[in-house]
Amino acid sequence: MKKVLARSAWSRAKHPVIEIGDLGNEESMKYLTGKRKINEVEAKILYELVGVIKQSILAEVEKKFNTVQLLRKQLYHEVGRKQSRLKELDFTTFMEFFDNYEEADKVLETNIFSYHPEKNIVTFRSQSVESYVREKADI
- Residue among 100, 111, 55, 107 at smallest CA distance from 77: 107
Q: Same domain for 89 and 103?
A: yes
Q: Same domain for 94 and 48?
A: no
Residue 138 has pLDDT above 80, yes or no: no
Between 136 and 91, the higher pLDDT residue: 91
Average pLDDT over residues 130-138: 83
Domain of residue 110: give its range. 69-135
Q: Same domain for 80 and 130?
A: yes
Whether 8 is in a domain gets the answer: no
The pLDDT, as a whole number, for residue 105 is 92
Please give the helix or strand (H or E) that residue 52 lies within, else none. Answer: helix 40-67
Q: Same domain for 99 and 76?
A: yes
Residue 113 has pLDDT above 90, yes or no: yes
Residue 84 has pLDDT above 90, yes or no: no
Average pLDDT over residues 77-101: 92
CB 95 within 8 A of CB 76: no
Residues 97, 76: Cα–Cα separation, whole Å? 7
Per-residue pLDDT tens over the stretch 2-21: 444 444 454 555 666 566 56
Q: Same domain for 76 and 130?
A: yes
Q: Same domain for 88 and 116?
A: yes
Of 46, 64, 82, which residue is a domain's last?
A: 64
Q: Count how many domains the chain has.
A: 2
Whether 4 is in a domain gets the answer: no
The pLDDT, as a whole number, for residue 5 is 45
Longest CA–CA separation in the chain, Å: 56
Q: Same domain for 55 and 109?
A: no
Per-residue pLDDT tens over the stretch 11-63: 555 666 566 566 788 998 998 999 999 999 999 999 999 889 999 999 999 99
What is the CATH number for 118? 1.10.10
Q: Is residue 112 packed enough to be buried (19+ CB in 10 Å), middle (13-18) or exposed (0-12)?
A: buried
Q: Same domain for 74 and 51?
A: no
In order, the DSSP letters of 97-128 are TSSSHHHHHHHHHTTSEEEETTTTEEEES-HH
Q: In the chain, pLDDT over 90 holds for what percent of residues?
A: 66
CB 43 within 8 A of CB 32: yes
